[in-house]
């Protein structure tokens, strides 16, 4: 932990039609772009280290989903996975420059699957880190999310949690998301506490948290062609799915189903990682992402 982590990437607000989205970007240079989509209660800063690892390969753009990070709340209060996917599509169209390498973690993985299924023309490759795909045998963490999403309980839970010191809440989140919270650099811990204090002052922060929790639960019980696993069957982009074997939120057994459903997929399990492998082991996730980039480029040359 002696080496200081890289600074957060600079951010700006982008108009994407009827709303604005805050994004953080690595410097211009590489001709291809990777778009990073965070999970529940996360933000673009969840990708800082992985973006740095891959900055020589792809220009990184990490988005704060509507109501998260520095992005304003959606005007219609819609925090559903389809609404988030539509916002990401609008961002991709606004950025231009052709299809992107789409990368999503947890809820952001669910959003990314829907985007890749809806708009294959915008997605060159797909990387999913512990995606929040429907699991009828969820672990303890998703059960807590389901409870917080229940009518009235979610709002009560948010009020109760907001009374706790930010330091306690951040430590509890890290303990849930990391296999080993001791891997968190003190500077990253300080940044997370500062950001939570800032979020506490936003009137929409609680609604965003509850709305996103309810969105995940709805996806777990969605049936028909819009079910996320049915959507995954439609994904044509080369896909990498990374699971942490010590993930307390998404069980690595879902790798078996992902291997059957995605058309062109490579599965990776990291034995010592938790739910946010891109933060806990960015160098390992970057190594696998580079392999996907090389494979995708080779496939494109063959079909050109």
What the chain holds in terms of domains, given with CATH numbers, is 11-303 (3.40.50.1820)
pLDDT, tens only, 262-285: 999 999 999 999 999 999 999 999
* Residues 54 and 286: beta-carbon distance below 8 Å: yes
**Mean per-residue pLDDT for 36-53?**
97
**Residue 209 to residue 158: CA distance in whole angstroms:** 8
| Confidence band for 202, pLDDT divided at 50, 70 and 90 | very high
Six-digit token pair at 302?
A: 């063959």
pLDDT of residue 148 exceeding 80: no
280: which residues sit within 8 A by CB, 6+ positions away? Answer: 178, 179, 180, 183, 244, 273, 274
- Confidence class of residue 300 from pLDDT cuts 50, 70 and 90? confident
Cβ-based burial of 186 (10 A; exposed 0-12, middle 13-18, buried ≥19): exposed
Of 115-119, 154-158, 165-169, 250-254, the poorest mean pLDDT is in: 154-158
- Give me 21's structure tokens: 């989205």
Dist CA 127 CA 27 (whole Å): 21
Mean pLDDT confidence for 212-218 = 89
Mean pLDDT value across residues 106-110: 97
Q: Lowest-pLDDT range, 127-141, 144-158, 202-216?
A: 144-158
224-236 pLDDT per residue, tens? 999 999 999 999 9
pLDDT band at 3 (very low <50, low <70, confident <90, very high): confident
How does residue 111 score in pLDDT terms, banded at 50, 70 and 90? very high
End-to-end CA distance of the chain: 46
In this prediction, residue 153 has a pLDDT band, given cuts at 50, 70 and 90, of low
Query: Is 72 a residue whose pLDDT tops 60?
Result: yes
Check pLDDT > 80 for residue 254.
yes
Return the pLDDT at 164: 84
Per-residue pLDDT for 142 more than 80?
no
Q: What is the pLDDT of residue 219?
A: 92
Mean pLDDT of 79-91: 98
The DSSP annotation for 92-130 comes to HHHH-SS-EEEEEETHHHHHHHHHHHH-GGGEEEEEEES
Q: So what's the pLDDT on residue 145? A: 54
Token duo for residue 34: 């990777």
Mean pLDDT taken over the chain: 92
Percent of the chain with pLDDT over 70: 90
- Evaluate if residue 286 carries a pLDDT over 90: yes
Reported confidence tier of residue 220, pLDDT bands at 50, 70, 90: confident
pLDDT at 163 over 80: no
Instruction: Give mean pLDDT, residues 139-144.
Output: 53
Q: Which residues pair with 13 in a beta bridge?
A: 22
């Amino acid at each position: 932990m002696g080496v200081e982590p890289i600074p957060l990437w600079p951010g700006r607000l982008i108009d994407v039609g009827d709303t604005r989205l805050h994004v953080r970007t690595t410097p211009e240079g590489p001709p291809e772009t990777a778009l990073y989509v965070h999970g529940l209660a996360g933000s673009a800063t969840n990708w800082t280290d992985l973006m740095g690892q891959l900055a020589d390969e792809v220009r990184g753009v990490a988005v704060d989903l509507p109501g998260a990070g520095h992005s304003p709340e959606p005007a219609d209060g819609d925090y559903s996975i389809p609404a988030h996917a539509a916002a990401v599509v609008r961002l991709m169209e606004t950025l231009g420059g052709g299809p992107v390498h789409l990368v999503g973690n947890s809820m952001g993985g669910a959003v990314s699957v829907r985007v890749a299924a809806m708009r294959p023309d915008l997605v060159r490759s797909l990387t999913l880190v512990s995606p929040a795909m429907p699991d009828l045998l969820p672990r303890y963490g998703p059960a807590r999310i389901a409870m917080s999403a229940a009518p009235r309980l979610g709002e009560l839970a948010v009020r109760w949690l907001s009374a706790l010191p930010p330091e306690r809440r951040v430590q509890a989140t890290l303990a849930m998301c990391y296999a080993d919270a001791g891997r968190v650099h003190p500077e990253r811990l300080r940044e997370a506490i500062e950001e939570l204090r800032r979020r506490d002052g936003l009137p929409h922060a609680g609604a965003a948290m509850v709305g996103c929790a309810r969105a995940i639960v709805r996806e777990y019980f969605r049936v028909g062609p819009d079910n996320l696993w049915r959507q995954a069957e439609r994904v044509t982009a080369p896909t990498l799915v990374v699971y942490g074997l010590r993930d307390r939120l998404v069980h690595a057994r879902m790798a078996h189903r992902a291997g059957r459903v995605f058309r062109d997929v490579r599965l990776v399990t990291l034995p010592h990682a938790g739910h946010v492998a891109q933060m806990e082991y960015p160098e390992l996730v970057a190594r696998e992402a580079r392999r996907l980039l090389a494979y995708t480029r080779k496939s494109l040359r063959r079909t050109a």
